[in-house]
Structure 1
């Protein structure tokens, strides 16, 4: 188990067969060994994985690959964390489980927001490079596929957003599958109604979950042993900042540590919670400022600031310049 990599199972061969894409051709196009998927657990760096995804798009010639993969979803091709989610009582519980175990599959984080009117899931990435937009679309659409597979109902999301929605021939395919258009938004999100979030999964299986859970916890513990506390804090902040929850208690609760233990471990790594928080905010600010579609006010909110003026002051302390000047210099 390696932090920061995508983990693929031998079932990847079955998925490619369903798509009519020869495995060897795909791996050659991506510059990877042709026997890669014969491993019990193949791992790819983000750059390698995204090369595979881009090659898959090119070979298949499918402008709406995310929809095609969602339609082809089969329980037998799921990896354990996804299958465990399918064993959940409902979509809400499935989201909680995957928020915990998603990083076993790759450098992704899942934000779960239970609103009065429903359930909003936000996909975030823990490292560069950023994925192709079509892969982001697939990550969102796969939640609709999971909801439909679990409930055996034609669940439609209430809302779905992306920084760069599908274009051209893909637009209609996504709308036909989802039942709603993919709208522009600062972050990739999919929102379900409260009714759909609570609709019982017909695939719920507590006995199977009890089989999966110990192994998933062991894998997560293996991952945590090779990951620094500062890295774990950064990952937690990526999920918590947009909700304005960026204090020591919030992060300690997410990492299942006491406040004192969290602070002590950070000190042993010669850093502090405040230093990691500031580094994370600064890096995210730089990332968002490279996207002209995200306003400075939106960036302030995504970084967990109560008002834009606090963000302005902090950014000036980090860089000696204003967000607008930094954005202009990056263009």
Structure 2
């Protein structure tokens, strides 16, 4: 499957669902019968800061996406970008990726971590989506999720 076919597939899924919360349900389901080395490496991280940087490094093994990280002393932002800049990311895929990050941070820390801010090129502001993330999704030119650095320093219970 080419990169464009992958994005078309994700867009087709989005077109078929009527519940905006579906991407979050899919991304936060815990499929114990599958094993993903990049995700295992993330679970083995000491904290969210290391997890996100590891996942960014290995993300291309999972799909045609890149995580671009910008950080300062107070926050860390992850911008999702397609491998080929001529493509745009379907909102279903972006929402799923952001839900996966938030869900995994919550599972591995047992803390109610929420992003500081989310921007999407095609925002979804369904009530369930807002409740899950703990913030509204703003419209923007990029697909970015931002976390407080202090939240990303919480030790993972899965660290080993």
Shorter-chain TM-score range: 0.7 to 0.9
Contact 1:57 1:65 in 2 (8 A): no
TM-score using structure 1 length: 0.44
Task: Work out the CA distance in 1 between the residues paired with 2:47 and 2:131.
Answer: 24
Instruction: Give the secondary structure class of the aligned counterpart of 2:4.
Output: helix
If asked which structure has higher relative contact order (CA below 8 Å, sep 6+), I would say 2
Contact 1:161 1:189 in 2 (8 A): yes
- Determine whether 1:109 maps to 2:109: no
Task: Work out the CA distance in 2 between the residues paired with 1:64 and 1:199.
Answer: 27
Tell me by how many angstroms 1:204 deviates. 1.1
Contact 2:20 2:129 in 1 (8 A): no
Contact 1:91 1:197 in 2 (8 A): yes
Distance 1:95 1:76, change over 3 A: farther
Task: Work out the CA distance in 1 between the residues paired with 2:102 and 2:82.
Answer: 20
Q: Which residue of 1 aligns with 2:41?
A: 84
Q: Which residue of 2 aligns with 1:180?
A: 135
Instruction: Give the secondary structure class of the aligned counterpart of 1:103.
Output: helix
Deviation digits for residues 258-278 of structure 1 (CA, Å, limit 9, x no counterpart) = xxxxxxxxxxxxxxxxxxxxx
- Find 1:193's aligned residue among 119, 140, 148: 148
Deviation digits for residues 134-154 of structure 1 (CA, Å, limit 9, x no counterpart) = 211211221101111211222
Q: Which residue of 1 aligns with 2:94?
A: 136
Task: Work out the CA distance in 1 between the residues paired with 2:45 and 2:32.
Answer: 14
* More helix as a share of residues: 1
Task: Work out the CA distance in 1 between the residues paired with 2:83 and 2:37.
Answer: 21
Q: Which residue of 1 aligns with 2:105?
A: 147
Corresponding residue pairs, total: 159
Distance 1:76 1:96, change over 3 A: farther
Tell me by how many angstroms 1:201 deviates. 0.6
Task: Work out the CA distance in 1 between the residues paired with 2:23 and 2:141.
Answer: 20
Instruction: Give the secondary structure class of the aligned counterpart of 1:66.
Output: helix
Deviation digits for residues 194-215 of structure 1 (CA, Å, limit 9, x no counterpart) = 211100011112xxxxxxxxxx
Deviation digits for residues 6-61 of structure 1 (CA, Å, limit 9, x no counterpart) = xxxxxxxxxxxxxxxxxxxxxxxxxxxxxxxxxxxxxx222332343344445554
Give unpaired runs (5+ residues) of structure 1: 1-43, 206-331
- Find 1:122's aligned residue among 56, 72, 79: 79
Task: Work out the CA distance in 1 between the residues paired with 2:15 and 2:9.
Answer: 10
Q: Which has the higher Rg, Structure 1 or Structure 2?
A: 1
* More strand as a share of residues: 2
